[in-house]
Structure 1
Amino acid sequence: MYGIVGGAQANWTSLLAWILLALGIASLILLVIVDEKQKHPLLDFLIFKQNILVLAALSCALAGVASTVFMFFDPLYLRILRELPPFWIGLLIAIIPAAQALISFTFTRAVKYFGVANLLFFSILAACLAISLHRFINAETPLAFLAIPFFLLGINWGLSNSAMITAVNEAVSSKKIGEALGTIATIWNIVGSLLLASSTAVFHAFQTGDSFLLPFHRMIDFNVLFALLILCAAIWIRVKIQKGAR
């Protein structure tokens, strides 16, 4: 993260930034290698032989974006560009946890009607739509419009949590539940951290002076691309799950 952000701020001419970036990549590779040799590894990639858990990981990857990138940039937009006071910023951002609370009240019934796989896929769609709608945000966007992407981010966040836990409990033996949850949660955190650092780098790359809207939109474009890649992978996995159910 420090390598990505530092490199962007120094226009990728900083030797320290490149060293930190190389150390970060090497550490991640070393973690995977060492972890695989442990009796009880932190990351158990064998769980992804089951398509439902791949779908859960994809949903959680986008939840990582929602819980880091947009929880960072959306308040900045509201404060810097819209000049809203902290009370109104907090009130608007509270739509996200409110949507999560709604999921917690309706999740049991939703699982019975739609199934875990469909809920995970809907979670991914909600995140993709929320990220795409951010592209239409400008200096004069009605505040009521902002409630839509914020609500969808909360839906993705809530469904990713609940449906991921349900999917793991249904697909994994009781002895492996902890490892499976830890693996997917680690993906959530790593993707969120990397996307926040990368989004910050993109923002700085397009920022000139005190400009905000242009770099904000370029940052959104970057995240839209990532979300579309996740969506394509999710469609492929969802088709495989549907074929396997026949």
Structure 2
Amino acid sequence: MSTPAAPARHVPESVHRRRWAILGVLMMSLLIVVLDNSILNVAIRTISTPAPTGLGATQSELEWAINAYTLVFAGLLFTAGLVGDRVGRKKVLLGGLSVFGLGSVLAAFSASPGQLIGWRALMGLGAAFVMPATLAVLMNVFERDEQPKAIGVWAGGVGLAIAIGPITGGLLLDHFWWGSVFLVNVPIVLLALALMLWLVPDSRDPHPGRLDPVGVLLSVVGLVLLVYGIIKGGQLADLTDPTVLTTAGAGLAVLVAFVVFEARSDHPSLDVRYFRNKVFSASIGAVALVFFALMGVMFFAVFYTQSVRGYSPLETGLLMLPIAVAQMFFAPRARLLVDRFGNRATTTGGLLLLASMLAAFTLLDRDTPIWLMEAVFFLMGAGMAHVMTPVSVLIMQTLPREKAGRASAVSNTFRQVGGALGVAVLGSVLSAAYRNSIEDELAVLPPGVRHAAGESIEATLAAADRLGPSGQVLAGTAGEAFVHAMHVTALWGAGVALAGAVVTALFLPGRNPAPPENGERGQELVKAAD
């Protein structure tokens, strides 16, 4: 009786044997890209304090310190994916990690909020070339039947970074100055570079696309103008201010011009034809909405735990651990629910759980038992895991293997855009709601400092400290005003997550679509059917 022939491999045997070690190196590279933002979330309150403890950054400057990274990251991901397809993903990974490490050193020694924002943008430049290359390499070292499991582990790596980031940041801030949260990236970068040179094979698209500098410029300018307008609206507590409307409107106009240009270009960085496929579009939308909620929640949760509840940075990092633990546990296992119930039910259920937990933030007050917040964080992480793993598989498997860099770039671009808009929109809602709640109480302050004191709870508490014992009443009122603003902001986030659940319920398939053939050169997406 003859032995059945082993299935043909598309991956060389030498690469196949070390695929899990390669995945470990890719996760290390991914770790520092995600770790940087999760560490910064814990450090933003410290950076907002006056020198020498911090930089005295305002809330709007803190939002820009986060968004300078994510906007450059998002704006260059399209081009980064194409460069990786053209010159080789390994080379792009090595170069991106090197730039990221250099930006980390410079950010650590920033002397002003403006410098920090600039060096964070440089870090975003390096990260833009790291993130899509990790997923593209993954798709080229794993056979299709193992890709969902590998992507689940990869997604779990995001959860690991979210877990250790705040704790690491808290430990560093307890013992060192705020710049240490950036310097910690450097040894990880050096180790990742050494292992990558040794283990990771190079790969490229045999038919790469041309670069699209005009499209990149339009996307970056449009996003920066839009986010600037949103943040400015929150700072002024007036979304109808002419400056806000003009800037945000100009941003939207430039983004429309970007879409039109890409649709007509014969070498677009973002091939808008991908979005004709409802499954691809719904999956990308789900990615963006999850990170919209996550980044917005992390922004206000830090001020709630530290400024309202009085926890230290390290304690705050530990309090955020449940959201990451849940992601690490559930992300690799989400595919089991997909196998049983399908993509639509799993993803929609995850978004509904996320929306419910965002709404549950309205139960948190100044003296609510902290275990309630921990339960909310854990269930948020579980919901996110059951969204990110299924949609990541759907996105990556709708294009041929040689186009993996482009699929990864589109996915991660919308992930970062979603996160940037989450910080900008929910941060602005928080700022406006807080100012409206505290404005009447600021009458005890001199007229010249009232506006600045109303921008954030940290600014109000700093002003209250200068009043001495008479400022205690104002400090207490500031806590109450922030909790109210947090409730309003959380409901906005819940509404966005609920809208995402409606989209996935309508457009995601019950099962994964069939893959395109490896030899297929086209840009066409496969049709996804139930």
- Which residue among 307, 313, 322 is the counterpart of 1:80? 307
Q: Which has a greater percent of helix?
A: 1
TM-score, normalised on structure 2? Answer: 0.42
| Residues 426 and 489 in structure 2, CA contact (< 8 A), matched pair in contact too | yes
TM-score, normalised on structure 1? Answer: 0.84
1:32 paired to 2:248: no
- Which residue among 293, 299, 302 is the counterpart of 1:66? 293
- Which residue among 212, 230, 233 is the counterpart of 2:500? 230
Aligned partner of 2:235 in structure 1 is 9
Identical-residue share of aligned pairs (%): 22
Shift of 1:151: 1.6
Aligned partner of 1:190 in structure 2 is 417
Aligned partner of 1:22 in structure 2 is 249
- Which residue among 385, 390, 393 is the counterpart of 1:158? 385
| Residues 96 and 154 in structure 1, CA contact (< 8 A), matched pair in contact too | yes
- Which residue among 397, 400, 414 is the counterpart of 1:170? 397
Which one has more relative contact order, counting CA pairs under 8 Å at least 6 apart?
1
Q: State the one-letter code of the partner of 2:268.
A: P
2-structure distance, mates of 1:117, 1:172: 20
1:93 paired to 2:320: yes
Q: Mind listing any 5+ residue stretches in structure 2 that lack a counterpart?
A: 1-226, 439-477, 512-528
Which range moved further: 44-53 or 77-86? 44-53
Q: How does 1:74-153 map to 2 (within 5 A)?
A: 74-153=301-380
1:214 paired to 2:484: yes
Shift of 1:241: 5.2
| Residues 358 and 490 in structure 2, CA contact (< 8 A), matched pair in contact too | yes
After superposition, the CA RMSD in angstroms is: 2.7
| Residues 59 and 121 in structure 1, CA contact (< 8 A), matched pair in contact too | no
Shift of 1:110: 4.0
Shift of 1:163: 2.0
2-structure distance, mates of 1:7, 1:110: 42
**What is the SS of the residue equivalent to 2:397?**
helix
Shift of 1:91: 0.5
Aligned partner of 1:41 in structure 2 is 268
Which protein is bigger by CA-based radius of gyration?
2
Which range moved further: 208-217 or 148-157? 148-157
Shift of 1:93: 0.9
**What is the SS of the residue equivalent to 2:324?**
helix
Shift of 1:176: 4.0
Shift of 1:14: 5.0
Shift of 1:60: 0.9
| Residues 44 and 183 in structure 1, CA contact (< 8 A), matched pair in contact too | no
2-structure distance, mates of 1:231, 1:8: 27
1-structure distance, mates of 2:252, 2:279: 28
Shift of 1:144: 1.3
1-structure distance, mates of 2:396, 2:495: 31
Runs of 4+ in 1 over 4 A off after TM superposition: 12-15
2-structure distance, mates of 1:169, 1:181: 7
Q: Mind listing any 5+ residue stretches in structure 1 that lack a counterpart?
A: none
| Residues 44 and 180 in structure 1, CA contact (< 8 A), matched pair in contact too | no
Q: How many residues align structurally? A: 244
Residues 1:80 and 1:49: Cα distance change in structure 2 (over 3 Å) = same
**What is the SS of the residue equivalent to 2:352?**
helix
Residues 1:118 and 1:231: Cα distance change in structure 2 (over 3 Å) = closer
| Residues 55 and 121 in structure 1, CA contact (< 8 A), matched pair in contact too | no
